[in-house]
A and B are shown apart, each in its own frame.
Chain A
Amino acid sequence: MKVSYYPGCSLEGIALDYAASIAGVAPLVNVELMELEEWNCCGATAAHSISHALALDLPARNLDLAQRAGRDLVAPCALCYNRLKVAEKARGGLKDIKVWDLLEFMTQDSYLGALSKKMVQPLKDLKAVGYYGCLMARPPAVTNKKDYENPQNLENLLKVLGATPLDWSFKTDCCGAGLAVARPDIIDTLVQRLYERALAAGAECFVVSCQMCQANLDLTQERISKKFGNNFYLPVFYFTELMGLALGHPQVKDWLARHLVDPIPLLKKKGLI
Protein backbone atom coordinates (compact mmCIF):
# COMPACT_ATOMS: atom_id res chain seq x y z
CA MET A 1 0.00 0.00 0.00
CA LYS A 2 1.24 3.48 -0.92
CA VAL A 3 1.03 6.29 1.62
CA SER A 4 2.47 9.78 1.90
CA TYR A 5 5.26 9.96 4.46
CA TYR A 6 6.19 12.98 6.58
CA PRO A 7 9.49 12.12 8.30
CA GLY A 8 9.98 15.42 10.14
CA CYS A 9 13.26 17.18 10.87
CA SER A 10 14.71 14.96 13.59
CA LEU A 11 14.52 11.86 11.40
CA GLU A 12 17.06 13.63 9.19
CA GLY A 13 19.27 14.16 12.24
CA ILE A 14 19.30 12.71 15.70
CA ALA A 15 16.79 9.94 14.90
CA LEU A 16 18.62 8.54 11.90
CA ASP A 17 18.29 5.07 13.43
CA TYR A 18 14.51 5.40 13.53
CA ALA A 19 14.45 6.60 9.91
CA ALA A 20 16.65 3.70 8.77
CA SER A 21 14.61 1.07 10.58
CA ILE A 22 11.35 2.48 9.19
CA ALA A 23 12.77 2.39 5.66
CA GLY A 24 13.96 -1.14 6.38
CA VAL A 25 10.75 -2.70 7.68
CA ALA A 26 8.11 -0.89 5.61
CA PRO A 27 8.73 -3.01 2.47
CA LEU A 28 8.66 -6.19 4.58
CA VAL A 29 5.03 -5.47 5.41
CA ASN A 30 4.25 -4.16 1.90
CA VAL A 31 3.99 -0.50 2.83
CA GLU A 32 5.42 1.95 0.33
CA LEU A 33 6.29 5.24 2.00
CA MET A 34 6.25 8.10 -0.51
CA GLU A 35 8.05 11.02 1.12
CA LEU A 36 5.97 14.17 0.83
CA GLU A 37 7.90 16.40 -1.58
CA GLU A 38 9.13 19.74 -0.23
CA TRP A 39 7.68 19.26 3.25
CA ASN A 40 8.56 21.80 5.93
CA CYS A 41 9.06 21.69 9.70
CA CYS A 42 5.82 21.54 11.72
CA GLY A 43 7.15 24.20 14.13
CA ALA A 44 7.09 21.74 17.02
CA THR A 45 6.85 22.93 20.63
CA ALA A 46 8.55 26.21 19.79
CA ALA A 47 5.79 27.34 17.46
CA HIS A 48 2.83 26.43 19.63
CA SER A 49 4.59 27.95 22.65
CA ILE A 50 5.28 31.39 21.27
CA SER A 51 3.51 31.82 17.94
CA HIS A 52 -0.02 30.58 17.53
CA ALA A 53 -0.01 31.64 13.88
CA LEU A 54 3.12 29.61 13.01
CA ALA A 55 1.82 26.65 15.02
CA LEU A 56 -1.15 26.40 12.66
CA ASP A 57 0.27 27.62 9.35
CA LEU A 58 3.53 25.63 9.25
CA PRO A 59 1.81 22.22 9.52
CA ALA A 60 -1.07 23.45 7.33
CA ARG A 61 1.28 23.79 4.36
CA ASN A 62 2.17 20.11 4.74
CA LEU A 63 -1.51 19.21 4.80
CA ASP A 64 -1.94 21.06 1.50
CA LEU A 65 0.91 19.02 0.02
CA ALA A 66 -0.62 15.79 1.31
CA GLN A 67 -4.03 16.75 -0.02
CA ARG A 68 -2.51 17.33 -3.45
CA ALA A 69 -0.67 13.99 -3.30
CA GLY A 70 -4.04 12.39 -2.56
CA ARG A 71 -2.84 9.69 -0.18
CA ASP A 72 -3.14 9.13 3.56
CA LEU A 73 -0.33 10.83 5.47
CA VAL A 74 1.82 8.90 7.94
CA ALA A 75 4.11 10.64 10.49
CA PRO A 76 6.54 8.69 12.70
CA CYS A 77 7.16 11.58 15.13
CA ALA A 78 4.53 12.04 17.82
CA LEU A 79 4.88 15.81 17.86
CA CYS A 80 4.71 16.21 14.07
CA TYR A 81 1.67 13.94 14.09
CA ASN A 82 0.03 16.01 16.81
CA ARG A 83 0.71 19.33 15.10
CA LEU A 84 -0.60 18.00 11.79
CA LYS A 85 -3.78 16.86 13.56
CA VAL A 86 -4.20 20.24 15.27
CA ALA A 87 -3.91 21.97 11.89
CA GLU A 88 -6.39 19.48 10.45
CA LYS A 89 -8.92 20.27 13.20
CA ALA A 90 -8.37 24.02 12.71
CA ARG A 91 -9.48 23.72 9.07
CA GLY A 92 -12.43 21.51 9.94
CA GLY A 93 -11.06 18.21 8.62
CA LEU A 94 -9.41 16.86 5.48
CA LYS A 95 -11.02 15.65 2.28
CA ASP A 96 -10.47 11.99 1.36
CA ILE A 97 -7.22 11.52 3.26
CA LYS A 98 -6.37 10.68 6.84
CA VAL A 99 -3.42 11.60 9.06
CA TRP A 100 -1.91 8.61 10.89
CA ASP A 101 0.86 8.18 13.38
CA LEU A 102 3.20 5.46 12.17
CA LEU A 103 2.57 3.13 15.10
CA GLU A 104 -1.19 3.31 14.67
CA PHE A 105 -0.78 2.69 10.94
CA MET A 106 1.58 -0.28 11.27
CA THR A 107 -0.45 -2.00 13.98
CA GLN A 108 -3.71 -2.20 12.08
CA ASP A 109 -5.13 -5.73 12.24
CA SER A 110 -4.28 -6.49 8.62
CA TYR A 111 -0.59 -5.65 9.13
CA LEU A 112 -0.34 -7.55 12.39
CA GLY A 113 -1.88 -10.56 10.65
CA ALA A 114 0.59 -10.34 7.76
CA LEU A 115 3.43 -9.85 10.20
CA SER A 116 2.69 -13.03 12.14
CA LYS A 117 3.13 -15.05 8.94
CA LYS A 118 6.53 -13.51 8.17
CA MET A 119 8.21 -14.06 11.51
CA VAL A 120 11.76 -15.36 11.26
CA GLN A 121 12.79 -15.07 14.87
CA PRO A 122 10.25 -14.67 17.69
CA LEU A 123 11.59 -12.33 20.40
CA LYS A 124 11.20 -14.99 23.04
CA ASP A 125 11.54 -13.96 26.70
CA LEU A 126 12.22 -10.30 25.90
CA LYS A 127 10.44 -8.45 28.69
CA ALA A 128 9.53 -4.96 27.56
CA VAL A 129 7.36 -2.05 28.58
CA GLY A 130 5.69 -0.07 25.83
CA TYR A 131 6.30 3.64 26.26
CA TYR A 132 4.04 5.86 24.16
CA GLY A 133 4.76 9.26 25.66
CA CYS A 134 2.26 12.06 25.34
CA LEU A 135 1.34 13.23 21.93
CA MET A 136 0.42 10.13 19.94
CA ALA A 137 -2.60 9.83 22.18
CA ARG A 138 -3.34 13.18 23.78
CA PRO A 139 -5.46 15.18 23.72
CA PRO A 140 -8.19 12.89 22.34
CA ALA A 141 -10.07 15.91 20.97
CA VAL A 142 -7.12 16.27 18.58
CA THR A 143 -6.01 12.67 18.02
CA ASN A 144 -9.45 10.99 18.10
CA LYS A 145 -7.84 8.08 19.94
CA LYS A 146 -10.20 6.10 22.16
CA ASP A 147 -7.67 4.41 24.43
CA TYR A 148 -5.67 7.54 25.17
CA GLU A 149 -5.08 6.69 28.84
CA ASN A 150 -4.08 3.10 28.18
CA PRO A 151 -3.14 2.50 24.55
CA GLN A 152 -2.43 -1.08 23.44
CA ASN A 153 -0.75 -0.78 20.03
CA LEU A 154 2.75 -1.55 21.27
CA GLU A 155 1.55 -4.42 23.48
CA ASN A 156 -0.40 -5.96 20.59
CA LEU A 157 2.63 -5.67 18.34
CA LEU A 158 5.02 -7.10 20.92
CA LYS A 159 2.75 -10.11 21.39
CA VAL A 160 2.78 -10.80 17.66
CA LEU A 161 6.58 -10.47 17.67
CA GLY A 162 6.76 -13.10 20.41
CA ALA A 163 8.04 -10.74 23.12
CA THR A 164 6.56 -10.31 26.59
CA PRO A 165 4.88 -6.92 26.99
CA LEU A 166 4.53 -5.91 30.63
CA ASP A 167 1.78 -3.85 32.15
CA TRP A 168 2.73 -0.59 33.85
CA SER A 169 1.07 2.68 34.72
CA PHE A 170 3.52 5.11 33.14
CA LYS A 171 3.20 4.34 29.45
CA THR A 172 1.78 7.76 28.59
CA ASP A 173 3.63 9.80 31.21
CA CYS A 174 5.78 12.67 30.02
CA CYS A 175 9.56 12.40 29.48
CA GLY A 176 9.90 16.19 29.28
CA ALA A 177 10.51 16.12 25.53
CA GLY A 178 11.06 19.69 24.36
CA LEU A 179 12.69 20.79 27.61
CA ALA A 180 15.62 18.41 27.09
CA VAL A 181 18.02 21.14 25.98
CA ALA A 182 16.85 24.16 27.96
CA ARG A 183 16.09 22.39 31.26
CA PRO A 184 17.89 19.01 31.29
CA ASP A 185 17.47 18.83 35.09
CA ILE A 186 13.71 18.48 34.57
CA ILE A 187 14.27 15.59 32.16
CA ASP A 188 16.44 13.87 34.76
CA THR A 189 13.66 13.89 37.35
CA LEU A 190 10.96 12.72 34.94
CA VAL A 191 13.03 10.04 33.22
CA GLN A 192 14.54 8.63 36.40
CA ARG A 193 10.96 8.01 37.55
CA LEU A 194 10.27 6.14 34.31
CA TYR A 195 13.38 3.96 34.76
CA GLU A 196 12.37 3.08 38.32
CA ARG A 197 8.81 2.23 37.34
CA ALA A 198 9.88 0.17 34.34
CA LEU A 199 12.28 -1.82 36.50
CA ALA A 200 9.58 -2.28 39.14
CA ALA A 201 7.36 -3.77 36.43
CA GLY A 202 10.15 -6.24 35.62
CA ALA A 203 11.18 -4.68 32.31
CA GLU A 204 14.50 -5.29 30.58
CA CYS A 205 13.95 -2.61 27.97
CA PHE A 206 11.65 0.10 26.64
CA VAL A 207 9.89 0.01 23.31
CA VAL A 208 9.00 3.42 21.91
CA SER A 209 7.47 4.97 18.82
CA CYS A 210 8.60 8.56 19.37
CA GLN A 211 12.15 9.78 18.73
CA MET A 212 11.95 12.45 21.42
CA CYS A 213 11.08 9.75 23.98
CA GLN A 214 13.91 7.62 22.62
CA ALA A 215 16.42 10.44 22.91
CA ASN A 216 15.35 11.39 26.42
CA LEU A 217 15.48 7.80 27.68
CA ASP A 218 18.60 6.74 25.79
CA LEU A 219 20.97 9.73 25.69
CA THR A 220 20.49 10.58 29.35
CA GLN A 221 20.84 7.14 30.91
CA GLU A 222 24.50 7.49 31.88
CA ARG A 223 23.96 10.98 33.27
CA ILE A 224 20.89 9.97 35.27
CA SER A 225 22.60 6.82 36.54
CA LYS A 226 25.41 8.97 37.95
CA LYS A 227 23.11 11.62 39.35
CA PHE A 228 20.88 9.15 41.20
CA GLY A 229 23.60 6.66 42.08
CA ASN A 230 21.91 3.77 40.32
CA ASN A 231 23.40 1.82 37.46
CA PHE A 232 20.46 1.72 35.06
CA TYR A 233 20.68 -0.55 32.04
CA LEU A 234 17.50 -0.28 30.00
CA PRO A 235 17.96 -0.27 26.21
CA VAL A 236 15.38 1.82 24.34
CA PHE A 237 14.18 0.20 21.11
CA TYR A 238 12.09 1.72 18.39
CA PHE A 239 9.22 -0.65 17.63
CA THR A 240 10.44 -0.75 14.03
CA GLU A 241 13.84 -2.04 15.18
CA LEU A 242 12.17 -4.94 16.99
CA MET A 243 10.04 -5.63 13.92
CA GLY A 244 13.26 -5.77 11.90
CA LEU A 245 14.84 -8.12 14.42
CA ALA A 246 11.87 -10.47 14.41
CA LEU A 247 11.56 -10.40 10.62
CA GLY A 248 15.26 -11.09 10.14
CA HIS A 249 16.24 -7.78 8.53
CA PRO A 250 19.99 -7.87 7.77
CA GLN A 251 20.70 -4.30 8.94
CA VAL A 252 19.31 -4.44 12.48
CA LYS A 253 22.79 -4.29 14.02
CA ASP A 254 23.58 -1.08 12.12
CA TRP A 255 20.44 0.59 13.46
CA LEU A 256 21.15 -0.51 17.02
CA ALA A 257 24.77 0.65 16.82
CA ARG A 258 23.51 4.22 16.87
CA HIS A 259 22.03 3.90 20.36
CA LEU A 260 23.97 5.17 23.36
CA VAL A 261 22.67 2.43 25.64
CA ASP A 262 24.02 -0.59 23.79
CA PRO A 263 21.22 -3.15 23.38
CA ILE A 264 23.53 -5.92 22.10
CA PRO A 265 24.41 -7.40 25.54
CA LEU A 266 20.69 -7.80 26.32
CA LEU A 267 19.91 -9.34 22.93
CA LYS A 268 22.91 -11.70 23.23
CA LYS A 269 21.73 -12.82 26.64
CA LYS A 270 18.36 -13.65 25.08
CA GLY A 271 20.02 -15.44 22.15
CA LEU A 272 18.42 -13.04 19.69
CA ILE A 273 21.55 -11.75 17.96
Chain B
Amino acid sequence: MNDGAPPISNIRPAYALPERLRQYHLQVSACYQCRKCSGGCPLTFAMDLLPDRVIRLALLGQEDLVLNCRTIWVCSSCETCTTRCSNGIDIAAVMDWLKEEALKRGLTTPQPEVAAFQRLFLDNIRAGGGRLSETRLLGNFTLFKLRRGFNFKEHWANAKLGYQLFKRGRLKLQGGPKLKAEARREVENIFNRSGFKS
Protein backbone atom coordinates (compact mmCIF):
# COMPACT_ATOMS: atom_id res chain seq x y z
CA MET B 1 0.00 0.00 0.00
CA ASN B 2 1.24 3.53 -0.73
CA ASP B 3 0.08 6.33 1.53
CA GLY B 4 -2.35 7.56 -1.07
CA ALA B 5 -0.81 11.00 -1.41
CA PRO B 6 -1.01 12.60 -4.85
CA PRO B 7 2.09 14.52 -5.96
CA ILE B 8 1.99 17.77 -4.02
CA SER B 9 2.87 19.84 -7.08
CA ASN B 10 -0.46 18.95 -8.67
CA ILE B 11 -2.51 20.35 -5.83
CA ARG B 12 -4.10 23.76 -6.04
CA PRO B 13 -5.48 24.68 -2.61
CA ALA B 14 -9.11 25.70 -2.32
CA TYR B 15 -10.87 27.15 0.70
CA ALA B 16 -14.51 26.14 0.47
CA LEU B 17 -14.23 22.68 2.05
CA PRO B 18 -12.15 23.53 5.14
CA GLU B 19 -14.40 26.52 5.74
CA ARG B 20 -17.54 24.38 5.61
CA LEU B 21 -15.96 21.80 7.94
CA ARG B 22 -15.06 24.58 10.35
CA GLN B 23 -18.73 25.55 10.56
CA TYR B 24 -19.36 22.04 11.94
CA HIS B 25 -16.54 22.47 14.49
CA LEU B 26 -14.29 20.21 12.44
CA GLN B 27 -11.12 22.28 12.51
CA VAL B 28 -8.91 20.44 10.01
CA SER B 29 -6.52 23.41 9.94
CA ALA B 30 -5.40 22.41 13.44
CA CYS B 31 -3.59 19.39 11.97
CA TYR B 32 0.21 19.53 12.24
CA GLN B 33 0.67 16.17 10.54
CA CYS B 34 1.96 14.10 13.43
CA ARG B 35 0.13 11.14 11.79
CA LYS B 36 -0.93 9.59 15.09
CA CYS B 37 -4.34 9.03 13.49
CA SER B 38 -2.88 6.80 10.79
CA GLY B 39 -0.49 5.15 13.25
CA GLY B 40 -3.35 3.98 15.47
CA CYS B 41 -5.95 3.24 12.80
CA PRO B 42 -6.79 -0.49 12.64
CA LEU B 43 -8.43 -0.22 9.20
CA THR B 44 -5.55 1.16 7.13
CA PHE B 45 -5.20 -2.17 5.30
CA ALA B 46 -8.57 -1.55 3.65
CA MET B 47 -8.08 2.15 2.88
CA ASP B 48 -6.90 3.99 -0.22
CA LEU B 49 -5.98 7.22 1.59
CA LEU B 50 -4.53 7.10 5.10
CA PRO B 51 -6.54 9.12 7.64
CA ASP B 52 -3.89 11.86 7.93
CA ARG B 53 -4.02 12.26 4.14
CA VAL B 54 -7.79 12.72 4.26
CA ILE B 55 -7.36 15.49 6.82
CA ARG B 56 -4.53 17.12 4.86
CA LEU B 57 -6.40 16.94 1.55
CA ALA B 58 -9.56 18.28 3.20
CA LEU B 59 -7.53 21.21 4.50
CA LEU B 60 -6.26 21.80 0.96
CA GLY B 61 -9.85 21.74 -0.27
CA GLN B 62 -9.41 18.68 -2.49
CA GLU B 63 -13.09 17.79 -2.57
CA ASP B 64 -12.91 15.27 -5.40
CA LEU B 65 -10.26 13.22 -3.66
CA VAL B 66 -11.77 13.11 -0.18
CA LEU B 67 -15.41 12.73 -1.20
CA ASN B 68 -14.67 9.87 -3.58
CA CYS B 69 -12.15 7.91 -1.52
CA ARG B 70 -12.76 4.44 -0.11
CA THR B 71 -11.32 5.43 3.27
CA ILE B 72 -14.38 7.30 4.50
CA TRP B 73 -16.57 4.22 3.89
CA VAL B 74 -14.33 1.56 5.42
CA CYS B 75 -13.64 3.65 8.53
CA SER B 76 -15.32 1.65 11.32
CA SER B 77 -15.80 4.70 13.58
CA CYS B 78 -13.72 3.11 16.31
CA GLU B 79 -12.77 6.63 17.44
CA THR B 80 -9.08 5.83 17.97
CA CYS B 81 -7.98 8.73 15.72
CA THR B 82 -10.35 11.19 17.39
CA THR B 83 -9.17 10.04 20.82
CA ARG B 84 -5.48 10.38 20.06
CA CYS B 85 -5.41 13.49 17.86
CA SER B 86 -2.90 15.86 19.43
CA ASN B 87 -4.89 18.84 18.26
CA GLY B 88 -8.38 17.78 19.19
CA ILE B 89 -9.68 17.23 15.66
CA ASP B 90 -12.69 14.92 15.64
CA ILE B 91 -11.30 12.92 12.74
CA ALA B 92 -13.97 10.20 12.81
CA ALA B 93 -16.60 12.95 12.58
CA VAL B 94 -14.79 14.38 9.54
CA MET B 95 -15.12 10.94 7.91
CA ASP B 96 -18.86 10.96 8.73
CA TRP B 97 -19.32 14.47 7.40
CA LEU B 98 -17.64 13.52 4.13
CA LYS B 99 -19.86 10.42 3.73
CA GLU B 100 -23.02 12.44 4.22
CA GLU B 101 -21.78 15.14 1.85
CA ALA B 102 -20.84 12.58 -0.81
CA LEU B 103 -24.37 11.15 -0.70
CA LYS B 104 -25.96 14.62 -0.76
CA ARG B 105 -24.02 15.37 -3.93
CA GLY B 106 -25.17 12.11 -5.45
CA LEU B 107 -21.62 10.85 -5.99
CA THR B 108 -21.05 7.23 -6.89
CA THR B 109 -19.56 5.63 -3.83
CA PRO B 110 -16.60 3.27 -4.17
CA GLN B 111 -18.20 1.13 -1.43
CA PRO B 112 -21.82 0.66 -2.54
CA GLU B 113 -22.40 -2.19 -0.06
CA VAL B 114 -21.53 -0.05 2.93
CA ALA B 115 -23.56 2.94 1.75
CA ALA B 116 -26.56 0.70 0.97
CA PHE B 117 -26.36 -1.00 4.35
CA GLN B 118 -26.43 2.34 6.20
CA ARG B 119 -29.35 3.59 4.10
CA LEU B 120 -31.34 0.36 4.51
CA PHE B 121 -30.66 0.46 8.25
CA LEU B 122 -32.25 3.90 8.58
CA ASP B 123 -35.14 2.97 6.24
CA ASN B 124 -35.74 -0.02 8.47
CA ILE B 125 -35.96 2.05 11.67
CA ARG B 126 -38.43 4.35 9.95
CA ALA B 127 -40.55 1.58 8.46
CA GLY B 128 -40.57 -0.30 11.77
CA GLY B 129 -41.88 2.77 13.56
CA GLY B 130 -38.83 3.50 15.67
CA ARG B 131 -36.96 0.26 16.25
CA LEU B 132 -34.75 -1.86 14.07
CA SER B 133 -35.67 -5.37 12.98
CA GLU B 134 -32.39 -7.13 12.32
CA THR B 135 -34.08 -9.92 10.40
CA ARG B 136 -35.80 -7.51 8.02
CA LEU B 137 -32.60 -5.51 7.57
CA LEU B 138 -30.62 -8.65 6.69
CA GLY B 139 -33.39 -9.65 4.26
CA ASN B 140 -33.35 -6.25 2.57
CA PHE B 141 -29.58 -6.23 2.35
CA THR B 142 -29.57 -9.73 0.84
CA LEU B 143 -32.00 -8.50 -1.83
CA PHE B 144 -29.68 -5.58 -2.55
CA LYS B 145 -26.75 -8.00 -2.95
CA LEU B 146 -28.77 -10.37 -5.14
CA ARG B 147 -29.67 -7.52 -7.49
CA ARG B 148 -25.95 -6.91 -7.95
CA GLY B 149 -25.21 -10.52 -8.72
CA PHE B 150 -25.57 -14.02 -7.33
CA ASN B 151 -22.62 -15.46 -5.47
CA PHE B 152 -23.55 -18.99 -4.46
CA LYS B 153 -20.76 -19.46 -1.94
CA GLU B 154 -21.48 -16.24 -0.14
CA HIS B 155 -25.26 -16.61 0.00
CA TRP B 156 -25.04 -20.26 1.01
CA ALA B 157 -22.68 -19.36 3.87
CA ASN B 158 -25.02 -16.59 4.99
CA ALA B 159 -28.03 -18.90 4.81
CA LYS B 160 -26.22 -21.47 6.97
CA LEU B 161 -25.28 -18.83 9.53
CA GLY B 162 -28.83 -17.51 9.48
CA TYR B 163 -30.16 -21.00 10.18
CA GLN B 164 -27.75 -21.46 13.09
CA LEU B 165 -28.96 -18.19 14.61
CA PHE B 166 -32.61 -18.95 13.91
CA LYS B 167 -32.28 -22.33 15.60
CA ARG B 168 -30.95 -20.60 18.70
CA GLY B 169 -33.71 -18.01 18.72
CA ARG B 170 -31.33 -15.20 17.85
CA LEU B 171 -32.88 -14.38 14.49
CA LYS B 172 -36.56 -13.71 14.94
CA LEU B 173 -39.15 -13.64 12.20
CA GLN B 174 -41.24 -11.34 14.34
CA GLY B 175 -39.59 -8.10 15.40
CA GLY B 176 -39.64 -6.78 18.96
CA PRO B 177 -42.62 -5.04 20.51
CA LYS B 178 -44.04 -2.16 18.46
CA LEU B 179 -44.16 1.40 19.73
CA LYS B 180 -47.49 3.08 20.41
CA ALA B 181 -48.96 5.41 17.78
CA GLU B 182 -47.88 8.56 19.64
CA ALA B 183 -44.26 7.40 19.89
CA ARG B 184 -44.23 6.31 16.25
CA ARG B 185 -45.41 9.78 15.26
CA GLU B 186 -42.61 11.37 17.25
CA VAL B 187 -40.03 9.19 15.50
CA GLU B 188 -41.56 9.93 12.09
CA ASN B 189 -41.30 13.65 12.88
CA ILE B 190 -37.61 13.21 13.67
CA PHE B 191 -37.12 11.58 10.27
CA ASN B 192 -39.11 14.30 8.48
CA ARG B 193 -37.11 17.05 10.18
CA SER B 194 -33.77 15.38 9.39
CA GLY B 195 -34.09 15.66 5.63
CA PHE B 196 -32.96 12.02 5.33
CA LYS B 197 -33.97 10.54 1.99
CA SER B 198 -34.10 6.80 1.47
Chain A residues proximal to chain B, CB less than 8 Å: 9-10, 12-17, 38, 40-41, 43-55, 57-58, 61, 134-135, 138-141, 148, 173-174, 176-179, 181-183, 186, 189-190, 219, 223, 257-258, 260
Contact check, A182 vs B97: say whether CB atoms are below 8 A apart: no
The smallest beta-carbon distance between B127 and chain A, in angstroms, is 12
Ordered by A's residue number, 8 sampled pairs between the chains whose C-beta atoms are within 8 Å are: A17-B170, A38-B130, A45-B118, A50-B122, A54-B122, A57-B190, A182-B114, A260-B164
Contact check, B134 vs A9: say whether CB atoms are below 8 A apart: yes
B21 at the binding interface (Cβ < 8 Å): no
Contact check, A181 vs B138: say whether CB atoms are below 8 A apart: yes
The smallest beta-carbon distance between A251 and chain B, in angstroms, is 14
B31 at the binding interface (Cβ < 8 Å): no
Contact check, A176 vs B76: say whether CB atoms are below 8 A apart: yes
Q: Which 7 A-B pairs have the closest CB atoms?
A: A12-B176, A46-B121, A174-B78, A53-B194, A40-B130, A138-B79, A9-B132
Do A186 and B117 form a contact, CB below 8 Å, given A12-B131, A41-B130, A258-B169?
no
Contact check, A50 vs B170: say whether CB atoms are below 8 A apart: no
Which chain B residues lie closer than 8 Å to A47 at the CB level?
A: 122
Q: How far is the CA of A121 from the CA of B190 in the complex (A)?
A: 49
Which chain B residues lie closer than 8 Å to A12 at the CB level?
A: 131, 172, 175-177
Closest partner residue, chain B, to A176 (CB atom): B76
Q: Which of A41, A134, A258 contacts B78 (CB 8 A)?
A: A134
**Chain B 158-175 interface mask (CB, 8 Å, partner A; 1/0):** 000100110011111001
Q: How far is the CA of A9 from the CA of B80 in the complex (A)?
A: 25
Which chain A residues lie closer than 8 Å to B42 at the CB level?
A: 173-174, 190
Which chain B residues lie closer than 8 Å to A61 at the CB level?
A: 186-187, 190
Q: How far is the CA of A118 from the CA of B40 in the complex (A)?
A: 41
Q: How far is the CA of A189 from the CA of B74 in the complex (A)?
A: 13
Q: Which of A9, A46, A135 contacts B118 (CB 8 A)?
A: A46
**Chain B 60-98 interface mask (CB, 8 Å, partner A; 1/0):** 000000000000001011111011000000101000110
Which chain A residues lie closer than 8 Å to B117 at the CB level?
A: 46, 181-182
- Residues of A contacting B: mostly: helix
B27 at the binding interface (Cβ < 8 Å): no
Q: Which of A38, A50, A186 contacts B46 (CB 8 A)?
A: A186
- Residues of B contacting A: mostly: helix
Contact check, B134 vs A10: say whether CB atoms are below 8 A apart: yes
Closest partner residue, chain B, to A57 (CB atom): B190
Contact check, B135 vs A13: say whether CB atoms are below 8 A apart: yes
Contact check, B165 vs A178: say whether CB atoms are below 8 A apart: no
Q: Which of A15, A49, A135, A139 contacts B96 (CB 8 A)?
A: A49
Q: How far is the CA of A181 from the CA of B139 in the complex (A)?
A: 11
Do A13 and B80 form a contact, CB below 8 Å, given A41-B130, A189-B45?
no
Contact check, B79 vs A135: say whether CB atoms are below 8 A apart: yes
B99 at the binding interface (Cβ < 8 Å): yes
Contact check, A183 vs B80: say whether CB atoms are below 8 A apart: no
B103 at the binding interface (Cβ < 8 Å): yes
B116 at the binding interface (Cβ < 8 Å): yes
Do A52 and B97 form a contact, CB below 8 Å, given A12-B175, A17-B170, A40-B179?
yes
Contact check, A40 vs B131: say whether CB atoms are below 8 A apart: yes
Do A178 and B76 form a contact, CB below 8 Å, given A54-B191, A61-B190?
yes
Contact check, B118 vs A49: say whether CB atoms are below 8 A apart: yes
Which chain B residues lie closer than 8 Å to A9 at the CB level?
A: 131-134, 176
Closest partner residue, chain A, to B190 (CB atom): A57
Q: How far is the CA of A190 from the CA of B45 in the complex (A)?
A: 10
Contact check, B74 vs A258: say whether CB atoms are below 8 A apart: no
Which chain B residues lie closer than 8 Å to A48 at the CB level?
A: 77, 96
